[in-house]
A and B are shown apart, each in its own frame.
Chain A
Amino acid sequence: MTLLRLPGESLIARAGRGIAASPKAAIALVICVLLVLAAIFAPVLAPQNPYDLKEIDIFDAKLPPGTVGYNGMTYLLGTDTQGRDMLSAMLYGLRTSLAVGLTAGVIALAIGTTLGLAAAYFGKWLDTLIMRLVDLMLGFPKILVALMIMVAFGQGTWKVILALVFVQWAFFARTVRAAAMVETGKDYVEAARCLGLSSPRILFHHLLPNCLPPLIIVGTIQVAHAIAAEATLSFLGIGLPITEPSLGLLIANGYHVLLAGLYWMSVFPGLLLLTLIFSINVVGDRLRAVLNPRLAA
Chain B
Amino acid sequence: MFVHNLASPSQVGQGGLTRRWREHVTETEYRARRAMTTFVIRRLMQAVMVLFATSLIVFVAVYAIGDPLEILLPSDASETEKAQVARSLGLDLPLPVQYGRFLWAALHGDFGNSFVYNQPAMTVIFERLPATLELTITALLMSLLIGLPMGLWAGNRPGTMVDESIMTGSILGFSLPNFWQGMMLIMIFAVWLGWLPSTGRGEPGTIFGITTSFASWDGIRHLILPAINLSLGNMAVIIRLTRTGVQETLPLDFVKYARARGLSERRILMVHVMKIILIPIVTVIGIEFGTLVAFAVVTETIFAWPGVGKLIIDSISALDRPVVVAYILVMVTLFIAINLAVDVAYSLLDPRIRSRAT
- Residues in B with CB closer than 8 Å to A181 are none
- Residues in A with CB closer than 8 Å to B191 are 258-259, 261
A190 to chain B, nearest CB (A): 26
B290 near A151 with CB under 8 A, answer: no
In the complex formed, the residue of A with least CB distance to B158 is A1
A62-119 interface with B by 8 A CB criterion: none
A24 near B177 with CB under 8 A, answer: no
Interface string of A208-251 (1 = CB under 8 A from B): 00000000000000001000100110011110000000001001
B177 near A277 with CB under 8 A, answer: yes
A133 to chain B, nearest CB (A): 11
- Residues in A with CB closer than 8 Å to B177 are 228, 231-232, 235, 248, 251, 270, 273-274, 277
Set A141, A154, A236, A263: member contacting B65, Cβ < 8 A: A154
Set B62, B184, B335: member contacting A140, Cβ < 8 A: B335
Set A144, A232, A266, A278: member contacting B178, Cβ < 8 A: A232
B316 near A258 with CB under 8 A, answer: no
A255 near B297 with CB under 8 A, answer: no
In the complex formed, the residue of B with least CB distance to A140 is B335
A228 vs B176: C-alpha distance when bound (angstroms): 9
Q: Pick the interface stretch among B19-27, B74-82, B167-175, B276-284.
A: B167-175
B295 near A141 with CB under 8 A, answer: yes
User: Is the C-beta of A139 less than 8 angstroms from some C-beta in chain B?
Assistant: yes
A253 to chain B, nearest CB (A): 12
- Residues in B with CB closer than 8 Å to A237 are 313, 317
- Residues in A with CB closer than 8 Å to B312 are 147
Q: Chain B CB within 10 Å — which of A1, A140, A255 has the most?
A: A140
Main SS at interface, chain A: helix
User: Is the C-beta of B180 less than 8 angstroms from some C-beta in chain A?
Assistant: yes
Set A151, A228, A281: member contacting B324, Cβ < 8 A: A151
Interface string of B160-197 (1 = CB under 8 A from A): 00000001100110111111100110110011000000
In the complex formed, the residue of B with least CB distance to A231 is B177
- Residues in B with CB closer than 8 Å to A267 are 184, 187
User: Is the C-beta of A129 less than 8 angstroms from some C-beta in chain B?
Assistant: no
- Residues in A with CB closer than 8 Å to B336 are 139
User: Is the C-beta of A38 less than 8 angstroms from some C-beta in chain B?
Assistant: no
- Residues in A with CB closer than 8 Å to B190 are 259
Interface string of B57-78 (1 = CB under 8 A from A): 1100110110000000000000
- Residues in A with CB closer than 8 Å to B180 are 231, 251, 266, 270, 273-274
Main SS at interface, chain B: helix
A147 near B184 with CB under 8 A, answer: no
User: Is the C-beta of B50 less than 8 angstroms from some C-beta in chain A?
Assistant: yes
The answer to whether A258 and B183 touch (CB under 8 A), given A152-B65, A232-B178, A274-B175, is yes
B184 near A236 with CB under 8 A, answer: no
A139 near B183 with CB under 8 A, answer: no
A148 near B316 with CB under 8 A, answer: no
Interface string of A126-144 (1 = CB under 8 A from B): 0000000000100111011
Count of chain B residues with a beta carbon within 8 Å of a chain A beta carbon: 47
B168 near A24 with CB under 8 A, answer: yes
A235 near B187 with CB under 8 A, answer: no
A151 near B62 with CB under 8 A, answer: yes
B321 to chain A, nearest CB (A): 10
A136 vs B57: C-alpha distance when bound (angstroms): 15
User: Is the C-beta of A285 less than 8 angstroms from some C-beta in chain B?
Assistant: yes
B335 near A274 with CB under 8 A, answer: no
Q: Chain A CB within 10 Å — which of B50, B184, B190 has the most?
A: B184
The answer to whether A238 and B316 touch (CB under 8 A), given A232-B179, A277-B177, is yes
User: Is the C-beta of A35 less than 8 angstroms from some C-beta in chain B?
Assistant: no
A143 near B187 with CB under 8 A, answer: no
Interface string of B273-305 (1 = CB under 8 A from A): 000000000000001001101110110011000
A122 to chain B, nearest CB (A): 20
User: Is the C-beta of B44 less than 8 angstroms from some C-beta in chain A?
Assistant: no
A236 vs B291: C-alpha distance when bound (angstroms): 17
A141 vs B183: C-alpha distance when bound (angstroms): 23
A251 vs B182: C-alpha distance when bound (angstroms): 12
In the complex formed, the residue of A with least CB distance to B293 is A141
User: Is the C-beta of A180 less than 8 angstroms from some C-beta in chain B?
Assistant: no
| Nearest 9 Cβ contacts at the A-B interface | A152-B61, A141-B294, A270-B180, A278-B175, A144-B294, A277-B175, A141-B291, A235-B179, A139-B339
Q: List 12 A-B contacts (CB under 8 A).
A: A141-B290, A143-B291, A237-B317, A251-B179, A255-B302, A258-B183, A258-B186, A266-B187, A267-B187, A274-B180, A278-B171, A281-B175
Given A285-B167, A285-B171, output 19 extra A-B contacts at Cβ < 8 Å: A1-B159, A139-B336, A139-B339, A140-B335, A148-B58, A148-B61, A151-B62, A151-B65, A151-B316, A154-B65, A231-B177, A232-B178, A236-B179, A238-B313, A255-B179, A259-B191, A273-B177, A274-B180, A281-B171
Interface residues, chain B, with chain A CB atoms under 8 Å away: 50, 57-58, 61-62, 64-65, 159, 167-168, 171-172, 174-180, 183-184, 186-187, 190-191, 198, 287, 290-291, 293-295, 297-298, 301-302, 312-313, 316-317, 324, 328, 331-332, 335-336, 339
Interface residues, chain A, with chain B CB atoms under 8 Å away: 1, 24, 136, 139-141, 143-144, 147-148, 151-154, 224, 228, 231-232, 235-238, 248, 251, 254-255, 258-259, 261, 263, 266-267, 270, 273-274, 277-278, 281-282, 285
